[in-house]
Structure 1
Amino acid sequence: MPLNYLESTGQALLDPLTQLWNKLVEIIPGILAAAVVIVVGYIIAAAFGLIFHRFLEAAKIDAHLKKAGLAHSIGFLNISNLGGALLKWYIFALFLVQAAGFMRLGILSDQLGKLAAWLPSLFAAVIIILVGLVLSDMVADRMLHAKRKGVRVFSSIVRWFAIVFVVLIAIEKIGIDVSLATNTVLLLIAGAALGIALAFGIGFGFAMKDEAKTVLKHLKKNW
């Protein structure tokens, strides 16, 4: 009886250890494969990031932005460094998606896979915001150079509408539903455009009032 008790107790202690060992044996190959993919992916991503960084430096993107007076649009960030870093981590995130597939960690692997698959969308959203900031400032700057009355206020309105719209597009890119906010902004833009058109039409009408009288008198004489 004591012998049977000892055997059952020993078996009860060994069973969890055996299961743990079997589980480790099952997942270790996947973890090793994932580690190889991550290391190789990082090297490839770093190489492409460096090449893109050198390309942007050779193209003198930062100098062109500074010359155009648009460097402030993105907080005077170094586009060459930022572009290289974004491409590097974007490519690395793609390798992370593959690495997560090798690991057999159940729910944890699924969550890691979802996170890795979401990262490229995040990087794309950052790029959309940066490009949108530069373009909105460019449009506002062109409008300011028109040197017309009230154009400064109008250019600021256009700039902020453009920034808000670009940010909404970027947020939607990372998987957040902003359709209601986007539709609201579009309605505001349409309303503002209609108001500006009416104001311009009324102002133009008052400005051309005397000329219109002259034209009408001329038409009456001829008819």
Structure 2
Amino acid sequence: LTNIVSTGVKWYILLLFMNEAASELGLEFIAGILQQVLRLLPEWLFGGLMIGGALVLGHWAQEKITESKLLFGAIGGRIIYFVIVYFAIVLSLPKFGFQNTEILVDTFKLLAGGLSAGLAIAVGIAFGSALKDPAKKILDDMFK
């Protein structure tokens, strides 16, 4: 890890000096390109760290949910992993220069709404089936 960081810092400092050298020599086109790279490099690094952190956090959450031995824990763990990574990618896309990510947010809202509605209907049907006889008795007693 220290080797990676030191190499990255070395190249960043080298690019800084190359930018200043190009400016002093009057190579404005090359200096402009280097300035763009130097301006975007921290953004790209932060976006990569966001995605990397989400991958680690998502994997950890998936393991914890799977280890809990809950009903549908393996599927729930995969869903949580997907949601965490999806949000990180959507949030980090502006760091890479993609400004309009509203369609991805709206797509997630539609998927979450559809999943919630389907789950609510399934739970309603399950409870309706399970409580059919007690509900019939209660209604019969009410209308006597």
Same topology, TM > 0.5: yes
Give the alignment's Cα RMSD to 1 decimal. Answer: 3.6
Letter in structure 1 aligned against 2:28: G
Identity fraction in percent: 21
In structure 2, what is the Cα distance between the partners aligned to 1:169 and 1:198? 31
In structure 2, do the counterparts of structure 1 residues 86 and 204 end up closer, same or farther at CA, with 3 Å as the change threshold?
farther
What is the total number of aligned residue pairs between the two structures?
A: 139
Q: Deviations over 1:138-191 (max 9, x none)?
A: 33334332521x343343233223323322322222212351233223322332
Counterpart position of 1:120: 42
Q: Give the deviation of 1:121 after TM superposition.
A: 1.1
Normalised by the length of structure 2, the TM-score is 0.68
- Which residue number corresponds to residue 119 of structure 2? 196
User: Aligned partners of 2:34 and 2:12: how far apart in 1?
Assistant: 11
- Of residues 117-126 and 171-180 in structure 1, the stretch that sits farther from structure 2 once superposed is 171-180
Matches within 5 A, 1:25-36: none
Task: Please say which structure displays the higher CA radius of gyration.
Answer: 1
Which blocks of at least 5 consecutive residues in structure 1 are unaligned?
1-80
Q: Which runs of 5+ in 2 are unaligned?
A: none
Residue pairs, 1:1-223, within 5 angstroms: 81=1, 85-86=4-5, 89=8, 93=12, 96=15, 100=19, 103-104=22-23, 105-144=27-66, 145-148=68-71, 150-179=72-101, 180-213=103-136, 216=138, 220=142
Cα distance between partner residues in 2 of 1:119 and 1:178: 20
C-alpha distance in 1, partners of 2:107/2:57? 22
Shift of 1:110: 0.9
Counterpart residue type for residue 59 of structure 2: D
8 Å Cα contact 2:22/2:30 also seen in 1: no
Question: Structure 1: which 4+ aligned runs deviate by more than 6 Å?
Answer: none
Cα distance per residue 1:69-125 (max 9 Å; x no partner)? xxxxxxxxxxxx27x735873696488458635641201101101111111111111
Kept after mapping to 2: 8 A contact 1:122/1:173: yes
User: Aligned in 2, Cα 1:197/1:139: closer, same or farther, shift over 3 Å?
Assistant: farther
Indicate the SS of the match to 1:147.
Answer: coil
For normalisation by structure 1, the TM-score amounts to 0.48
CA distance in 1 between partners of 2:78 and 2:116 (Å):
14
- Contact kept, 8 Å, 1:97 with 1:117, in 2: the verdict is no
Q: 1:201 to 1:134 in 2, by over 3 A?
A: farther
